[in-house]
Structure 1
Amino acid sequence: MPSRPTPTIFRALLLAAGLAATAASAAAQSPTGGTLPPVDDLVRYFDTIVFGSEMGPAYASTVIAKWPGDTLTVSLEQRATPEHLGFVSAHLAALGRLTGKKFSGTKTPESAAIRVLFLRRNEMAAIGGPNVDPQAIREAAAAGGCYFLSWKQPESRIVKAIVVVNVERDPALINSCLLEELTQSLGLPNDSDAMRPSIFSDRDHLSELSPHDAILVRTLYDPRMKAGLPRAAALGVARTVISELAGSARSSTSHGRGG
């Protein structure tokens, strides 16, 4: 759920100072097997996930928005546990491979690019600050799962994000929720059931990105996909990149079977 507020500062309970080292050695990998959908379907899915918004047109992006720079700092806060740190580390390792970004833990949550808050369900709606819509926060927290907020300055540059997670849920659901919100906070904000299984579908609870999810992330962070590109131009670039990625994946699968 994109937003432009100034977040309330939360006390860090678990500092992720060793996050970058943990992420670099994490074993989780993005799936590479399976049959990919046609390129046309993948381009439409990219359009839906990047430029759509279930929160309504006011929240939808009109240009490509993504994180600038090479390194993003991350803090884990409130009721985070070592298990949660493991989940986050594995997911950031996978996302780092797809985006080329490096993720580094920080001891100062106020300065973190991405803050991950592990809260009880009855605390999830208490996210405040200037320009925060309390009603939107209440709606996002109502399901009791997880949600994210992102800040853009200007519309093409994501400069801050908060991921809010219900710490009272089953660990497997927390793991899946973290993957979904961390991925969406990178500039793929929308949900959709159009292509499954997918981390962007509320009907699926995945611990790894599906092959088509991974293609969407790689497409957004391909150097040719410039921040600030309007939708029509971005979809043209997306078609080129997705065609290449899908062709490479199918070729690799074919060669693997032939061996």
Structure 2
Amino acid sequence: MLIRQLSLNLKLLCALAVLLTNLTSQAKERWEDDTYIQESFIKIALEREYKETKNPKLVRWTKPIKIYFESDSGDAAFQKELLSVHAQHLSHITGVPIDFTPKANKASIVVVFTQYDNLEEKVRQYIGNPDKIRAALNEAICLGNFRINRFSEITRGTIIIPVDYARLKLRFLDCIVEEITQLMGLPNDSNDVFPSIFNDVSTDSYLSPLDYILLKTLYSPQLKPGMTVKAANAALPNIIASLHDQGEIENAAQRVQQYSLKRYLGE
């Protein structure tokens, strides 16, 4: 009788163990899946919005970033404060030093807060002929543009935020967070990637755990500017394994909040 009871208890424990394993598996978020991370990275880092590219290459910064800030619309001090907090958050995640400069000609990124009516004038001043980015002007709420050198290193970027239009569309904060994050080397948007600020139908205003992982991946020493999709795909499994070893993926939901604009604003 005792042996039978022990056998039943053992079976019960085994059943509970299987149930707990299944529940744990079900509780795992989609963005924690290795394949999903890899596919998301390729979509956001190596595809391009508004431009077809037959042979896309990985782009990112290899030198410290200097930001020039300009505003002729709204609360300039508050705008610069928000921009500064998010820039330092990105610096913390990627390891790229980011600071401000008072001179536009010394800047690697120019960030302009303006009115919608002045948008084309600012594009002409800081980017070039507006007709060359007409699709973006017609569709986007705010603009981000970058240049690369022959080594696929990002060397200069411009962000223009029409304050009145962004507020009208309830996207003012989103513009600050998304545009400078994309200029780090994650230039594409995709509705297949979720949760993410790079998803146009998402309600995320701040960096998500997946965005944190994508930034960590982009600035892994195992990736280099100029890598093709094939080369990046070959390197990604080892990078993702390293991120697991460092606890970056399992703890992304907590780590993405360190130094974040979301925490700074108390949300």
TM-score, with structure 1 as normaliser: 0.76
Bigger helix fraction: 2
Q: 1:52 aligns with which of 38, 47, 56?
A: 47
Question: In structure 2, what is the Cα distance between the partners aligned to 1:197 and 1:103?
Answer: 26
Q: Larger radius of gyration, structure 1 or 2?
A: 2
**Matched residue of 1:90: which SS?**
helix
- Are 1:215 and 2:213 counterparts? yes
* CA-CA distance at 1:129 after TM superposition: 6.7
SS of residue paired to 2:67: strand
**Within the alignment, does 1:245 sit opposite 2:249 as a pair?**
no
Separation in 1, partners of 2:55, 2:101 = 29
Alpha-carbon spacing, 1:210–1:125, altered in 2? closer, same or farther (3 Å): same
Q: Would you say how many aligned residue pairs link Structure 1 and Structure 2?
A: 218
Q: Is residue 60–residue 154 contact of structure 2 (8 Å, CA) maintained in 1?
A: yes
Q: Which has the higher contact order (CA 8 A, sep 6+)?
A: 1
The equivalent of 2:56 in structure 1 is 62
Letter aligned with residue 139 of structure 1 = A
CA separation of 1:141 and 1:155: change in aligned 2, threshold 3 A: farther
Name the CA distance, whole Å, in 2 between partners of 1:121 and 1:130: 15
Contact 1:88 1:178 in 2 (8 A): yes
Q: How does 1:67-78 map to 2 (within 5 A)?
A: 67-69=61-63, 71-78=64-71
Contact kept, 8 Å, 1:52 with 1:61, in 2: the verdict is: no
User: Could you report, residue by residue, the CA deviation over 1:84-119 in whole angstroms, capped at 9, with x for unpaired residues?
Assistant: 112111211211111101111101012200100112
> Which structure 2 residues correspond to residues 60-99 of structure 1 after superposition, within 5 A?
62-69=56-63, 71-79=64-72, 81-99=76-94
SS of residue matched to 1:170: helix
Residue identity in the other structure for 1:79? D
Looking at structure 1, the residues matched to 67 and 249 of structure 2 have their Cα atoms a distance apart, in angstroms, of 35
CA RMSD for the aligned pairs?
2.5
* Equivalence for 1:114: 109
Q: 1:138 to 1:236 in 2, by over 3 A?
A: same
Runs of 4+ in 1 over 6 A off after TM superposition: none
Listed as ranges, the gaps of 5+ residues in structure 2 are 1-27, 253-267
DSSP-derived class of the 2:178 partner: helix
Aligned partners of 1:165 and 1:177 also within 8 Å: yes
Q: Which moved more, 1:204-213 or 1:187-196?
A: 204-213
